[in-house]
Structure 1
C-alpha cells in the first residue's frame, strides 16, 4: 500500500464520512412520511363538514 500524505488521509476521512452522511440522508428521505396532494385533499374533505 503506498504511503499517503497527511492531507490525503484527511481528505479520505472527510470523503468517507460525507458518503456515510449522504447515504443515511437518502435512506431517511425515502422512509419519511410525506404529505402528498391526495392526503391534503382527503383531509380538507374530512375537515369541512359544514356547508357554510
Structure 2
C-alpha cells in the first residue's frame, strides 16, 4: 500500500463518509417518493366508488 500523507488519509476518510451519507440519503429519498406515490394511487382508487 502506498505511503500517503496524513492529510490525504483525512481526505480519504471524509470522502468515504460523504459517499456513505449521500448514498443513504438517495435511498431514503427514493423510498419516500415511492411510498408517497403508492399512497396517492390507493387514495384515487378508493375515491372512485362506481364500477364502470
The TM-score bracket by the shorter chain reads 0.5 to 0.7
Aligned residues: 38
Q: Cα RMSD (Å) of the superposition? A: 1.5
Return 5+ residue gaps in structure 2 as ranges.
48-52
Instruction: State TM-score, norm by structure 2.
Output: 0.63
Return 5+ residue gaps in structure 1 as ranges.
47-52
Q: Displaced runs of 4+ in structure 1, greater than 2 A?
A: none
Compare CA radii of gyration and give the structure with the larger one.
1
